[in-house]
Amino acid sequence: MLRELLNLIEKMNDPKINELNIIYWGSPIISFGNLKYAKVATVGLNPSNMEFVDSKGNELIGGERRFHTLESLGLSDWSGVEEGHLNSILELCQNYFFRNPYERWFKKLDYLISGTSVSFYFPSSQACHLDLIPYATDTKWAELTSFQRSSLLNLSGNYLGIILRDSPIRLLVLNGKSVIDNLEKITDIKLEKNLMPTWTLPRENSKGVQGFSFIGAITKLQNIKLKNRIKVIGYNHNVQSSFGITKEVLNSIRNWISSQAKEVL
């Protein structure tokens, strides 16, 4: 992991990085949680800026800090990073859920996977979160230009494939349609799509927003051949931001994830 983390950091020294809205002073995030023990990984697009700043945009410090930054590592830029810095960055990634996790985001995800008997949190700690892109940006994914989005995917390279190849993860849970679309792009697979009537989000003046499940498997990610087949499942709703996510819809998604996980866990 040290080599891949160093590779991600070295890419941040490219002058073109300024065009991509990356939070340059924040470290890349290899994982949320310990990959060594994870059987299940939820998957998002890229880390939230709230992993590095508070509601006023100030850098998190002290006990509020979630990940390392140039300031916390005592660096002026990433060209000065050494092995000790890399180990410190990885340590915060591995211990994320023991410190100050962004629970507004992760509590819902943890609930959805709780039917599998794994959790992000102690004592299980057999689940982690991964992002397609390990770099946090100042703005939300939807607000980035198409050039910025495609460049970030290219910049991330084979990082996710390397992580999955070298971990015990057997199930990926994709959080939302954008994640599904982008994973399909970088794997050249097409997930099976099915209408899920119990996932419909209610709307006053329409039939509601339909819910869909997605199922598939990957044995390769970009240029990296995986050691084992990994099952991939997902849902089109973004449970943190989709308007009208009801308790009934969350329960139905949770039960579906649990049933799908039985094949591989």
Residue 40 pLDDT? 97
> CB under 8 Å to 56, separation ≥6 — which residues?
none
Are 254 and 109 in contact by the 8 Å Cβ rule? The answer is: no
User: d(Cα 175, Cα 178) in Å, to the nearest integer?
Assistant: 8
35-61 pLDDT per residue, tens: 999 999 999 999 999 999 999 999 999
216 or 123, which is more confident?
216
Phi, psi of 73 (to 5 degrees): -90, -5
pTM score: 0.95
Chain-centroid distance, C-alpha 84 = 25
User: d(Cα 213, Cα 239) in Å, to the nearest integer?
Assistant: 13
Residue 255 pLDDT? 98
- The mean predicted confidence, pLDDT, of the chain is 94
User: d(Cα 177, Cα 129) in Å, to the nearest integer?
Assistant: 17
Residue 242 pLDDT? 63
CA atoms within 13 A on the CB side of 20: 24
Q: How confident is the model at residue 243 (pLDDT cuts 50, 70, 90)?
A: confident
Q: How confident is the model at residue 68 (pLDDT cuts 50, 70, 90)?
A: very high
Q: What is the mean pLDDT of residues 199-225?
A: 92
Q: How confident is the model at residue 260 (pLDDT cuts 50, 70, 90)?
A: very high
- Lowest-confidence segment of 51-55, 147-151, 242-246 by average pLDDT: 242-246
**Domain coordinates in residue numbering, the chain:** 29-49+99-261
From the number of C-beta atoms within 10 Å of its C-beta (0-12, 13-18, 19+), residue 167 rates as buried
Q: What is the mean pLDDT of residues 84-94?
A: 97
Strand arrangement of the beta sheet that strand 212-221 belongs to: 127-131, 40-44, 171-175, 224-235, 212-221, 192-195
Select from 3.30.460.80, 3.40.470.10, 3.40.630.10, 3.40.50.300 the CATH code of 29-49+99-261. 3.40.470.10
> CB under 8 Å to 5, separation ≥6 — which residues?
28, 30, 86, 89, 90
